[in-house]
Amino acid sequence: MKTPRQVSLPLVLLTALVAVFMLAPITLSVLAGLVNNYSAGLKSGLTLRWLSEVWELYGGTVAASLLLALLCVLGNLLIGIPCAYALARSRSRMARVFEELLTLPVAVPGLATALALILAYGQISGFRQSYAFVLVGHMVFTLPFMVRTVSSAFQRPELYSLEEAARTLGAGFAQRFMGVLLPAVLPAIVAGCLMVFTLSVGEFNLTWMLHTPLTRTLPVGLADSYASMRLEIGSAYTLVFLLVILPVLWGLQAAGTLIEKHHGR
Amino acid sequence: MDVERTRVDISHCAKTYADGTRGLQPTSLSVEPGEVLALLGPSGCGKTTLLRLVAGLEVPDAGSRITFGDTEVTHLPVERRGIGMVFQHYALFPQMSVEANIAYGLRVRGVDEAEKRRVVGELIDLVRLNGLEKKRPAELSGGQRQRVALARAVAVRPRVLLLDEPLTALDAKLKESVRDELAELLRRLHITAIHVTHDQQEALAIADRLAVMQAGRIVQVGRGEALYRTPEHPFVASFLGRVNRLERDAAARAAHVVRLGDMDIACPPAWQAQDSVLVRPEDIEVGKVTAGWGDAVVSQRVFLGDRIQLKLLLPDQASLNAEVGRDHPACMGDAVGIRIQPQHLMPGSELSLISL
């Protein structure tokens, strides 16, 4: 049974106002990508022309961005989880310093991080011209998010007892790490993966400095289209972004929630 | 299921932490094969440290020696020590079913499927978890979780079972029934076990022998009843139950008595140097004013349901707490006679030190 609630009218109005204010830019942007001529407005008629043009010009960046994000998640799993465990179990001061250093790329502007990467490794042209260079940038930027999330999960007191319990039962390090610790922190790993994927897909700052005309990601292409194309194409590009990326993110979120529920404590 | 019965010998075992604090003074202790020994003491007394040293979860100071049967295990890592441990909050693997939790130790040892199923089935029967095999720990009650933890610990046929405050996570009402169940299970398993607790009733109910600890050392070891009735140390007397302290002046000490008004209660001559003695509230007889009994006045009467607690004012001693049956006639303000049997007196300072 629902209890009747008193909702004050000003509160409803305020909520509606804020909602309209937030949704208007998205609606207008999406509309701009669907009309024949933005300055003439809806009168000029609706079209899918801009969308197909965007797909032709920038379609590759969608796949590139998704693949890059996936590889970034994979790299984070391979490097980030062992790193998180090591940091969680180490009591040395060096570990704390290292943790701070790891977090630095989040605070330092992406442009500066990118410039540093170019200065250090820009001469290795095979590397510089490939997506691997962009991937490294994304890894540097996203690693602290994965490491922090998973490391704090590893530090929960019950994890220490779980590990000790596994040891008393005769489990070696690999057995207890794979069989007990990883499953116990799985929700944190899933949360970390989602965060890393989302950050990587939307990353512009670093990527803009690191990309080459042949290694563009979706946000970089978006900037390019805003700068050099008609407004309608830029807007259609936004629509593409929403149509492709949002379902993927929602799907991943749902998968994440499912796993968390399944592993609920 | 039959388990090996192993004798545990701990000799000169000490633990100094990295910051220099002494968690455990050099300690020697033996646990007989198949015996349940409780390490009892307040928090910070070193009981958990000693248990973790036996488990191999902490490294003892140089010179320490721990043997299980004929095997020295001092330097064996915990994985190869052959112990089973029940943790304070059970530390059950949250993502695994009851079955998988119990089978974990067998799985990491590579025991074949059929044997694993047989052992797990046997243990499920033993700890009465039938029907809950597929449940997750989060879906179980506190008592059930505790039984899973016990089954998991003994599934690998450990040489020694270690229990770290196994009942702390339970609420007071459940505690008593789980406690008796645990005591019975340990008897049926007949496994050498060391049980850490700060609860004297839990220790008395579960263990064959108690080692009472204080400030990093063992104060006294013995059977629960003996420790309760004839403690050698005032700490043991006061930790296992409640006590009253009776003062003795020089004359009383010389006469080998303790004075209670008109009454002299005989004390053993060896207690000559004890300037006070202890007596438990239930060992004070309270009756009518009688010649040859001590005199007292009831200053407080608290009805506790199964018994009555009386506060008694004495002319020549500090006030005493006495406990009498629930139908006792004494009321507040009554003058009463009190009597204490000599065998109920306990020393007020450490005996071994004084008599030396």
Query: In sequence order, what DSSP letters do the residues of B5-60 get, joined into one string?
Result: ---EEEEEEEEE-TTS-EEEEEEEEEE-TT-EEEEE-STTSSHHHHHHHHHTSSPP
pLDDT at A148: 93
Find the radius of gyration of the CA atoms of chain A.
Answer: 23
Residue B128 pLDDT > 90: no
Model confidence over A8-44: pLDDT tens digits?
Answer: 899 999 999 999 999 998 888 888 888 887 777 777 7
Alpha-carbon gap, residue A159 to A153, rounded angstroms: 8
Are the Cβ atoms of A168 and B78 closer than 8 angstroms? yes
Q: Which of A28-32, A115-119, A179-183 has the lowest mean pLDDT?
A: A28-32
Is B84 touching A (CB cutoff 8 A)?
A: yes
Instruction: Summarize the confidence of residues A230-249 as an average pLDDT.
Output: 84
Q: What are phi and psi of A47, to 5 degrees?
A: -155, 155
Confidence of residue B117 (pLDDT cuts 50, 70, 90): very high
Amino acid occupying residue B162: L
Residue B257 pLDDT > 50: yes
Model confidence over B294-342: pLDDT tens digits?
Answer: 889 999 999 999 999 999 999 888 899 999 999 999 999 999 999 999 9
Whether the CA torsion A173, A174, A180, A186 is positive or negative: it is positive
Collapse the DSSP code of B153 into the 3-class scheme (helix H, G, I; strand E, B; otherwise coil) and give the result: helix
Helix axes A9-32, A231-262, angle to 10 degrees: 120
Are the Cβ atoms of A168 and B138 closer than 8 angstroms? no
CB pairs under 8 A between A and B: 70
Residue B178 pLDDT > 90: no
Q: How far is A174 from chain B (nearest CA, A)?
A: 10
- pLDDT over 70 for what percent of chain B? 97
- At the top level of CATH, which class does the domain B8-238 belong to? alpha beta
Alpha-carbon gap, residue B181 to B206, rounded angstroms: 9
B245-355 shares the fold of B8-238: no
Residue B354 pLDDT > 70: no
Partner residue opposite A169 with nearest CB, options B57, B95, B108? B108
The whole-chain average pLDDT of chain B stands at 90
Model confidence over A59-83: pLDDT tens digits?
Answer: 888 888 889 999 999 999 999 999 9
Asked if residue A50 is part of any domain, the answer here is yes
- Residue A55 maps to which CATH number? 1.10.3720.10
Residue B2 pLDDT > 50: yes
Give the bridge partners for B337, in sequence order.
B287, B295
Best residue in B53, B93, B107 to probe A by mutation, most A CBs within 10 Å? B93
Best residue in A160, A169, A176, A263 to probe B by mutation, most B CBs within 10 Å? A169
pLDDT at A265: 45
Are the Cβ atoms of B91 and A161 closer than 8 angstroms? yes
Task: Look up tokens 């998991």; give the residue.
Answer: B152
Count CA atoms within 13 Å of residue B135 on its CB side. 13
pLDDT at A53: 82
Alpha-carbon gap, residue A234 to A50, rounded angstroms: 9
Chain B residues with beta carbon closer than 8 angstroms to that of A153:
none
Residue B248 pLDDT > 70: yes
Model confidence over A144-170: pLDDT tens digits?
Answer: 999 999 999 999 988 999 999 999 999
Provide the residue range defining the domain that includes A159.
44-262
Are the Cβ atoms of B79 and A167 closer than 8 angstroms? yes
Alpha-carbon gap, residue B325 to B286, rounded angstroms: 10
Which residues have a Cβ under 8 Å from the Cβ of B255 and sit 6 or more positions away?
Answer: B264
Best residue in B78, B79, B145 to probe A by mutation, most A CBs within 10 Å? B79
Residue B356 pLDDT > 50: no
Instruction: Summarize the confidence of residues A102-116 as an average pLDDT.
Output: 89
Is B173 touching A (CB cutoff 8 A)?
A: no
pLDDT at A3: 57
Collapse the DSSP code of B163 into the 3-class scheme (helix H, G, I; strand E, B; otherwise coil) and give the result: strand
Model confidence over A192-235: pLDDT tens digits?
Answer: 998 999 899 888 888 888 888 878 888 888 888 888 877 888 88
Confidence of residue A237 (pLDDT cuts 50, 70, 90): confident
Confidence of residue B344 (pLDDT cuts 50, 70, 90): very high
Which residues have a Cβ under 8 Å from the Cβ of B91 and sit 6 or more positions away?
Answer: A158, A161, A162, A164, A165, B149
Helices (H), A155-217: 157-168, 173-176, 182-202, 205-210
Closest listed residue to residue A63, CA positions, set A216, A182, A251, A190? A216
pLDDT at B47: 94
Determine the topology of domain B245-355 in CATH: OB fold (Dihydrolipoamide Acetyltransferase, E2P) (2.40.50)
Instruction: Summarize the confidence of residues B100-124 as an average pLDDT.
Output: 93
Asked if residue A108 is part of any domain, the answer here is yes
Q: Which residues of A17-52 are buried (b: 16+ CB within 10 A; e: fewer)?
A: eeeeeeeeeeeebeebbbbeebeeeeeeeeeeebbe
Instruction: Summarize the confidence of residues B165-179 as an average pLDDT.
Output: 85
Are the Cβ atoms of A183 and B91 closer than 8 angstroms? no
| Domain assignments of chain B as residue spans, ordered by start | 8-238, 245-355
Q: How far is B298 from chain A (nearest CA, A)?
A: 51
Instruction: Summarize the confidence of residues B24-50 as an average pLDDT.
Output: 94
Chain A residues with beta carbon closer than 8 angstroms to that of B78:
164, 167-168
Q: How far is B161 from chain A (nearest CA, A)?
A: 10
Instruction: Summarize the confidence of residues B280-306 as an average pLDDT.
Output: 91
Count CA atoms within 13 Å of residue A259 on its CB side. 17
Burial of B286 (0-12, 13-18, 19+ CB in 10 A): buried
Chain B residues with beta carbon closer than 8 angstroms to that of A170:
79-80, 105, 108-109, 156
pLDDT at B355: 41
Which residues have a Cβ under 8 Å from the Cβ of B74 and sit 6 or more positions away?
Answer: B60, B64, B65, B66, B67
pLDDT at A263: 66
pLDDT at B40: 95
Are the Cβ atoms of A162 and B80 closer than 8 angstroms? no
Alpha-carbon gap, residue B231 to B222, rounded angstroms: 9
Alpha-carbon gap, residue B79 to B4, rounded angstroms: 18
pLDDT at B3: 59
**Overall number of domains in chain A:** 1
Is B110 touching A (CB cutoff 8 A)?
A: no
The token pair at A163 is 């590990």
Are the Cβ atoms of B79 and A171 closer than 8 angstroms? yes
Model confidence over B132-157: pLDDT tens digits?
Answer: 999 999 999 888 999 999 999 999 98
Amino acid occupying residue A108: V
Is B1 touching A (CB cutoff 8 A)?
A: no
pLDDT at B123: 92
**pTM of the prediction?**
0.80
pLDDT at B313: 92
- pLDDT over 70 for what percent of chain A? 97
Question: If interface means Cβ-Cβ distance under 8 Å, which residues of chain A face chain B?
Answer: 158, 161-162, 164-172, 175, 179-180, 183-184, 186, 263-265
Q: Which residues of B210-228 are buried (b: 16+ CB within 10 A; e: fewer)?
A: bbbbbebbbbbbbebeebb
pLDDT at B92: 93
Chain A residues with beta carbon closer than 8 angstroms to that of B57:
164, 167-168
Residue B107 pLDDT > 90: yes
Instruction: Summarize the confidence of residues A129-137 as an average pLDDT.
Output: 89
Alpha-carbon gap, residue B346 to B229, rounded angstroms: 8
Asked if residue A125 is part of any domain, the answer here is yes
Decide if B123 contacts B132 (C-beta within 8 A). no
Best residue in A160, A168, A177, A189 to probe B by mutation, most B CBs within 10 Å? A168
Task: Look up tokens 């076990």; give the residue.
Answer: B193
- What is the ipTM metric for this complex? 0.83
